[in-house]
Amino acid sequence: MTAEIVNLRKARKAAARKSDERAAEANRVTFGERKADKTVRKLETKRAEARHEAGKLDPPADQP
């Protein structure tokens, strides 16, 4: 019942690579769009939010 021998330097580097890859993936999602695509996405989001807000009911006047 001996444990597997692990080189801690290699383990730390592997963990750092995984962390860096996750950050890179997030950056690709955030910054990986062309400006025209970002503009279209923002307009669609704004339009969807406006459509959602238009469907809300106003509270009765006697209640705050």
User: Could you list the mean pLDDT of each consecutive 10-residue stretch along the chain, which spans 64 residues?
Assistant: 87 96 92 88 95 83 67
User: In the prediction, which pLDDT does 38 show?
Assistant: 86
pTM for the model stands at 0.44
For residue 31 the two structure tokens come to 């910054």
User: Among the residues of 6-63, which ranges form H helices?
Assistant: 8-31, 35-54
Q: Where are the domains of the chain?
A: 24-55
Cα gap 24→9, rounded to integer Å: 22
User: In the prediction, which pLDDT does 63 show?
Assistant: 62
